Structure 1
Amino acid sequence: MYQDEIIQRVNNAAEIENSNEMLIIRKIEESEKPMELMLNENDRISDIKIRKLVDCIVGRKIIAEKVLLIRDHFVSLHDYLDLLNSGCLFDDEYDALFATFGNFEISCIL
Protein backbone atom coordinates (compact mmCIF):
# COMPACT_ATOMS: atom_id res chain seq x y z
CA MET A 1 0.00 0.00 0.00
CA TYR A 2 2.68 2.52 1.01
CA GLN A 3 5.50 0.58 -0.61
CA ASP A 4 6.36 3.25 -3.23
CA GLU A 5 6.37 6.01 -0.62
CA ILE A 6 8.60 4.03 1.74
CA ILE A 7 11.03 3.20 -1.06
CA GLN A 8 11.25 6.87 -2.02
CA ARG A 9 11.88 7.92 1.58
CA VAL A 10 14.62 5.30 1.99
CA ASN A 11 16.24 6.45 -1.25
CA ASN A 12 16.09 10.09 -0.12
CA ALA A 13 17.57 9.23 3.27
CA ALA A 14 20.36 7.27 1.60
CA GLU A 15 21.24 10.24 -0.61
CA ILE A 16 21.21 12.74 2.27
CA GLU A 17 22.96 10.70 4.95
CA ASN A 18 25.99 8.49 4.67
CA SER A 19 24.73 5.78 6.98
CA ASN A 20 26.13 2.33 7.62
CA GLU A 21 22.67 1.03 8.40
CA MET A 22 20.53 -0.52 5.75
CA LEU A 23 16.84 -1.23 5.62
CA ILE A 24 15.76 -4.22 3.57
CA ILE A 25 12.17 -4.41 2.44
CA ARG A 26 10.84 -7.41 0.60
CA LYS A 27 7.43 -8.53 -0.42
CA ILE A 28 6.21 -11.72 1.25
CA GLU A 29 4.72 -14.14 -1.22
CA GLU A 30 1.16 -15.23 -0.46
CA SER A 31 2.24 -18.85 -0.26
CA GLU A 32 5.01 -17.99 2.22
CA LYS A 33 3.96 -18.41 5.84
CA PRO A 34 5.33 -16.12 8.53
CA MET A 35 7.19 -17.88 11.33
CA GLU A 36 4.92 -18.15 14.35
CA LEU A 37 6.17 -21.17 16.19
CA MET A 38 8.95 -20.39 18.63
CA LEU A 39 10.64 -23.53 19.87
CA ASN A 40 12.03 -22.76 23.32
CA GLU A 41 14.47 -25.32 24.68
CA ASN A 42 14.05 -24.27 28.32
CA ASP A 43 10.25 -24.20 28.39
CA ARG A 44 9.62 -27.93 28.55
CA ILE A 45 6.32 -29.12 29.95
CA SER A 46 6.36 -31.64 32.78
CA ASP A 47 5.54 -35.25 31.87
CA ILE A 48 2.37 -35.08 33.97
CA LYS A 49 1.13 -31.97 32.18
CA ILE A 50 1.96 -33.46 28.77
CA ARG A 51 -0.04 -36.58 29.66
CA LYS A 52 -3.03 -34.39 30.65
CA LEU A 53 -2.75 -32.35 27.44
CA VAL A 54 -2.50 -35.52 25.33
CA ASP A 55 -5.61 -36.91 27.05
CA CYS A 56 -7.41 -33.62 26.37
CA ILE A 57 -6.33 -33.67 22.72
CA VAL A 58 -7.51 -37.27 22.29
CA GLY A 59 -10.86 -36.32 23.84
CA ARG A 60 -11.52 -33.62 21.26
CA LYS A 61 -13.47 -34.58 18.15
CA ILE A 62 -12.90 -31.41 16.11
CA ILE A 63 -9.49 -31.27 14.44
CA ALA A 64 -9.26 -27.48 14.67
CA GLU A 65 -9.70 -27.69 18.45
CA LYS A 66 -6.90 -30.24 18.70
CA VAL A 67 -4.58 -28.04 16.65
CA LEU A 68 -5.46 -24.99 18.75
CA LEU A 69 -4.71 -26.87 21.99
CA ILE A 70 -1.37 -27.97 20.62
CA ARG A 71 -0.37 -24.54 19.32
CA ASP A 72 -1.42 -22.86 22.56
CA HIS A 73 0.46 -25.18 24.92
CA PHE A 74 3.47 -26.70 23.19
CA VAL A 75 6.56 -24.47 22.79
CA SER A 76 9.51 -26.80 23.26
CA LEU A 77 10.91 -28.93 20.45
CA HIS A 78 11.17 -31.83 22.91
CA ASP A 79 7.50 -31.41 23.84
CA TYR A 80 6.48 -31.44 20.17
CA LEU A 81 8.50 -34.61 19.63
CA ASP A 82 6.87 -36.19 22.69
CA LEU A 83 3.47 -35.16 21.33
CA LEU A 84 4.16 -36.63 17.89
CA ASN A 85 5.37 -39.88 19.48
CA SER A 86 2.32 -40.11 21.76
CA GLY A 87 0.00 -41.37 19.04
CA CYS A 88 -2.72 -38.83 19.83
CA LEU A 89 -3.02 -37.56 16.24
CA PHE A 90 -4.29 -39.49 13.23
CA ASP A 91 -4.22 -39.01 9.45
CA ASP A 92 -5.76 -35.61 8.61
CA GLU A 93 -4.95 -34.30 12.08
CA TYR A 94 -1.23 -34.37 11.26
CA ASP A 95 -1.93 -32.52 8.02
CA ALA A 96 -3.97 -29.89 9.87
CA LEU A 97 -1.23 -29.35 12.46
CA PHE A 98 1.60 -29.21 9.91
CA ALA A 99 -0.42 -26.78 7.77
CA THR A 100 -0.07 -24.25 10.59
CA PHE A 101 3.73 -24.49 10.50
CA GLY A 102 6.09 -22.59 8.26
CA ASN A 103 8.99 -24.25 6.47
CA PHE A 104 11.41 -23.54 9.32
CA GLU A 105 9.19 -25.15 11.95
CA ILE A 106 8.62 -28.23 9.82
CA SER A 107 12.34 -28.62 9.19
CA CYS A 108 13.02 -28.43 12.95
CA ILE A 109 10.54 -31.19 13.70
CA LEU A 110 11.59 -33.43 10.83
Structure 2
Amino acid sequence: MSTVQSSNGDPMLRAIVRSKRFIEEHYPEPLERERLAEFACMSESYFSIMFKKVAGCTASQYITATRIEKAKQLLRSSDMNVSEIAREVGFQDPLYFSRVFSSREGMPPREYRAFSSE
Protein backbone atom coordinates (compact mmCIF):
# COMPACT_ATOMS: atom_id res chain seq x y z
CA MET A 1 0.00 0.00 0.00
CA SER A 2 2.99 2.34 0.20
CA THR A 3 2.70 2.94 -3.54
CA VAL A 4 -0.89 3.98 -3.02
CA GLN A 5 0.00 6.47 -0.33
CA SER A 6 2.92 7.96 -2.24
CA SER A 7 0.91 8.45 -5.45
CA ASN A 8 -2.31 10.03 -4.22
CA GLY A 9 -2.45 12.36 -7.22
CA ASP A 10 -2.60 9.60 -9.85
CA PRO A 11 -6.24 9.27 -11.01
CA MET A 12 -5.74 5.70 -12.27
CA LEU A 13 -4.29 4.68 -8.92
CA ARG A 14 -7.20 6.32 -7.09
CA ALA A 15 -9.64 4.47 -9.36
CA ILE A 16 -8.08 1.12 -8.46
CA VAL A 17 -8.05 1.95 -4.75
CA ARG A 18 -11.75 2.89 -5.03
CA SER A 19 -12.37 -0.37 -6.89
CA LYS A 20 -10.73 -2.38 -4.11
CA ARG A 21 -12.93 -0.59 -1.58
CA PHE A 22 -15.97 -1.29 -3.78
CA ILE A 23 -15.08 -5.01 -3.80
CA GLU A 24 -14.70 -5.01 -0.01
CA GLU A 25 -18.14 -3.42 0.38
CA HIS A 26 -19.94 -5.49 -2.30
CA TYR A 27 -18.16 -8.87 -2.09
CA PRO A 28 -21.40 -10.91 -1.67
CA GLU A 29 -22.73 -9.60 -4.98
CA PRO A 30 -21.79 -10.81 -8.46
CA LEU A 31 -18.70 -8.77 -9.34
CA GLU A 32 -17.90 -9.21 -13.00
CA ARG A 33 -14.90 -7.50 -14.52
CA GLU A 34 -17.26 -5.45 -16.69
CA ARG A 35 -19.00 -4.00 -13.63
CA LEU A 36 -15.71 -3.19 -11.89
CA ALA A 37 -14.22 -1.60 -15.00
CA GLU A 38 -17.33 0.52 -15.44
CA PHE A 39 -17.10 1.60 -11.80
CA ALA A 40 -13.46 2.61 -12.38
CA CYS A 41 -14.34 4.36 -15.68
CA MET A 42 -11.91 2.17 -17.64
CA SER A 43 -12.10 -0.39 -20.39
CA GLU A 44 -12.13 -3.97 -19.12
CA SER A 45 -8.68 -4.76 -20.45
CA TYR A 46 -7.10 -1.57 -19.08
CA PHE A 47 -8.81 -2.13 -15.73
CA SER A 48 -7.37 -5.65 -15.56
CA ILE A 49 -3.86 -4.43 -16.33
CA MET A 50 -4.03 -1.54 -13.88
CA PHE A 51 -5.64 -3.58 -11.09
CA LYS A 52 -2.92 -6.22 -11.27
CA LYS A 53 -0.20 -3.57 -11.43
CA VAL A 54 -1.54 -1.69 -8.38
CA ALA A 55 -2.94 -4.54 -6.26
CA GLY A 56 -0.38 -7.21 -7.15
CA CYS A 57 -3.11 -9.70 -8.07
CA THR A 58 -6.02 -9.91 -10.45
CA ALA A 59 -9.41 -8.50 -9.51
CA SER A 60 -10.77 -12.05 -9.46
CA GLN A 61 -8.07 -13.14 -7.02
CA TYR A 62 -8.78 -10.11 -4.84
CA ILE A 63 -12.52 -10.87 -4.81
CA THR A 64 -11.86 -14.48 -3.85
CA ALA A 65 -9.41 -13.49 -1.11
CA THR A 66 -11.92 -10.98 0.27
CA ARG A 67 -14.71 -13.56 0.27
CA ILE A 68 -12.54 -16.18 1.97
CA GLU A 69 -11.48 -13.71 4.68
CA LYS A 70 -15.13 -12.83 5.34
CA ALA A 71 -15.97 -16.55 5.44
CA LYS A 72 -13.21 -17.15 7.99
CA GLN A 73 -14.67 -14.41 10.18
CA LEU A 74 -18.11 -16.02 9.96
CA LEU A 75 -16.73 -19.49 10.66
CA ARG A 76 -15.10 -18.16 13.83
CA SER A 77 -17.99 -16.01 15.03
CA SER A 78 -21.31 -17.44 13.84
CA ASP A 79 -23.37 -20.59 14.07
CA MET A 80 -24.20 -20.49 10.35
CA ASN A 81 -23.52 -23.73 8.50
CA VAL A 82 -20.96 -23.87 5.71
CA SER A 83 -23.56 -23.66 2.94
CA GLU A 84 -25.09 -20.53 4.50
CA ILE A 85 -21.67 -18.94 4.88
CA ALA A 86 -20.80 -19.76 1.27
CA ARG A 87 -23.89 -17.94 0.03
CA GLU A 88 -23.44 -15.09 2.50
CA VAL A 89 -19.99 -14.28 1.15
CA GLY A 90 -20.90 -14.57 -2.53
CA PHE A 91 -20.34 -18.19 -3.53
CA GLN A 92 -23.40 -19.72 -5.19
CA ASP A 93 -22.11 -23.29 -4.93
CA PRO A 94 -21.16 -24.49 -1.42
CA LEU A 95 -19.08 -27.35 -2.86
CA TYR A 96 -17.04 -24.93 -4.96
CA PHE A 97 -16.66 -22.69 -1.89
CA SER A 98 -15.30 -25.63 0.11
CA ARG A 99 -12.82 -26.48 -2.65
CA VAL A 100 -11.59 -22.89 -2.93
CA PHE A 101 -11.42 -22.52 0.85
CA SER A 102 -9.48 -25.78 1.22
CA SER A 103 -6.98 -24.87 -1.48
CA ARG A 104 -6.34 -21.43 0.05
CA GLU A 105 -6.39 -22.36 3.74
CA GLY A 106 -5.06 -25.91 3.63
CA MET A 107 -8.15 -27.34 5.31
CA PRO A 108 -11.90 -27.49 4.65
CA PRO A 109 -14.21 -24.90 6.25
CA ARG A 110 -15.57 -27.31 8.88
CA GLU A 111 -12.06 -28.22 9.99
CA TYR A 112 -11.09 -24.53 10.05
CA ARG A 113 -14.07 -23.84 12.33
CA ALA A 114 -13.09 -26.66 14.69
CA PHE A 115 -9.44 -25.62 14.64
CA SER A 116 -10.17 -21.92 15.24
CA SER A 117 -12.53 -22.61 18.15
CA GLU A 118 -9.93 -24.59 20.15
TM-score (norm 2): 0.30
Higher relative contact order structure (alpha carbons within 8 Å, sequence separation ≥ 6): 1
Between structures 1 and 2, the one with greater helix share:
2
